[in-house]
Structure 1
C-alpha cells in the first residue's frame, strides 16, 4: 500500500519554491513590489480555488524571468542544501516514515514545487528512490515557465494515472488544496494544519488525525 507525502509543510516546514524565489529576489530587488502585490492577492484566496495557484505561477514567471536552466539548477541545489541543513525545517518522525516507505518501495511524494528542486531536497534529507509527482518547467530565452503545475485536483489525477489500481494508504498533508487526493486515502494525517485547513477537511467529511 502506498504512503503519500506532501512536500511543503510536511517534509519541509518551509515552502521550498517560495524559499528559492526569495533567494532570487535578493539579486533582483526591483521585482519585490510586483511580486509582493501578487502575493497579497493570493494570501486571502482559498487553498482549494484557482486564484492562488494562478498568482503563484505568475510570481514564479516574474521572479525567474531570463534565467537559464543551468542557473536555475544551481540556485535549486543551493536552496535544497540550505533547507535540508536547517534542523528546525524537518520533523524527524515524518522524515523517518518517508525513508522507511522509500526503502520499502511504497513512498510517493507529491508537490506543487518544481521537480528538480523537490528531488534535490529529498536527496539532501535522505529520502532516495521515492516516486515523485511534481510541477514541470520548460525553459526558453525568456526563462522558465510551467509545463504543468501539480497542485490541487491535478495531484489526484496524477496519482490515478500512475496507480489506476493501487491503493493509497496513508497521506500526510497540511493543506486543504490536497482534498481531492485525500479523498482517495484510507488514512489522512494533517501535519501542523491551519484552522482553515482543519475546517475544510471537516466540512468535506474527511476523517483525519493531527500531527503537530
Structure 2
C-alpha cells in the first residue's frame, strides 16, 4: 500500500455538488422550530468572512443539542446513505475517476472538511467502502457538542501526514482555493469546475501541473 501512488479527492464540490455537512446541519435546524429561531441571528454572520467560521461552529452545536453519541451517529449515517441515492447530488464523473485510479493501483483517499460519520456513510452508499477517508471530527464534552477537528486548509496535509501519508502525492482533486495547501504537494493538481480566478491563482502559485475538468451531476 505504501508504494502505491496516492490520489487525493476533496468531497464537497468534487464528489458532491454542495457542502455536505452544511446540508446535514441545515436539515436538523429547520426541523426544530426552537433550533430555527435560535439560528436566525447567526445567518448574517455566516455571510461575513471574518465571522463565518465561528458562526458555523455555533450552528453545528445548535443542530446537535440533545443528541447522544449513538443517536448522532445513527442520524449521520442515515443522512449520508440517503445522499448517496439522491438524484443529482453526486458527480458520477468523480465516482468513475475514483474507480479508475483504484483500478490503476492508486491509493485513493478522500480528504474533506465534512464530518467523518456522514462522509463514510456517503462513500459506503456509493460503493466506495474501501476508499480511505480523512475528515473532520466532533466530540461530546459533557452535555454539549463541539468541533474536535476541522479538517480544512492547512489541516488537510497535517492530517494526512499524521496517518503516514506523506507528500508528494501523485494527484489531488479540488474545487476551491482553500485546498491550495493540499494541492501544493501534488505532482498533478486537478481543478474541478473551477472559477477563472481559481485557475489563475493555482497556475500562479502551484509548482504542480494544473489541469481542469468539468463534471456535471
Which TM-score tier does this pair reach, normalised by the shorter chain? 0.7 to 0.9
- Number of matched residues? 208
Structure 1 partner of 2:89: 89
1:211 to 196, 210, 213: 213
Counterparts in 2 of 1:109 and 1:65: CA distance versus 1, 3 Å: same
The match for 1:182 is 183
Q: TM-score, normalised by structure 1?
A: 0.85
Partner Cα distance (1:196, 1:131) in 2: 31
**Pair 137,173 (structure 1): closer, same or farther in 2 beyond 3 Å:** same
CA positional deviation for 1:204: 2.8
Unaligned runs of 5+ in 2: none
1:27 to 31, 35, 56: 31
TM superposition outliers: structure 1 runs of 4+ over 6 Å: none
Distance 1:90 1:114 in 2: 17
CA contact 2:167–2:186 (8 Å) conserved in 1? no
- Indicate the SS of the match to 1:113: strand
**Aligned position for 1:18:** 22
Q: CA deviation at 1:85?
A: 1.0
**What SS does the corresponding residue of 1:89 show, helix, strand or coil?**
coil
- In 1, Cα distance between equivalents of 2:21 and 2:73: 12
After TM superposition, list the pairs within 5 Å mapping 1:10-159 onto structure 2. Answer: 10-45=14-49, 51-102=51-102, 104=105, 106-159=107-160
Deviations 1:100-122 (A, max 9, x none): 43463510110111111111110
For normalisation by structure 2, the TM-score amounts to 0.83
Q: CA RMSD in A?
A: 2.4
Tell me which moved more, 71-80 or 105-114: 71-80
Q: Retained in 1: the 8 A contact 2:81–2:124?
A: no
TM-superposed deviation, 1:162: 2.6
Q: Which has the larger radius of gyration?
A: 2
C-alpha offsets along residues 54-94 of structure 1, whole Å, 9 cap, x if unaligned? Answer: 33222211221221112212221221122111231222221
Contact 1:188 1:208 in 2 (8 A): yes
Q: Distance in 2 between matches of 1:208 and 1:162?
A: 26
Is 1:42–1:51's contact at 8 Å kept on the other side of the alignment? Answer: yes
Change beyond 3 A, Cα 1:179–1:33: farther
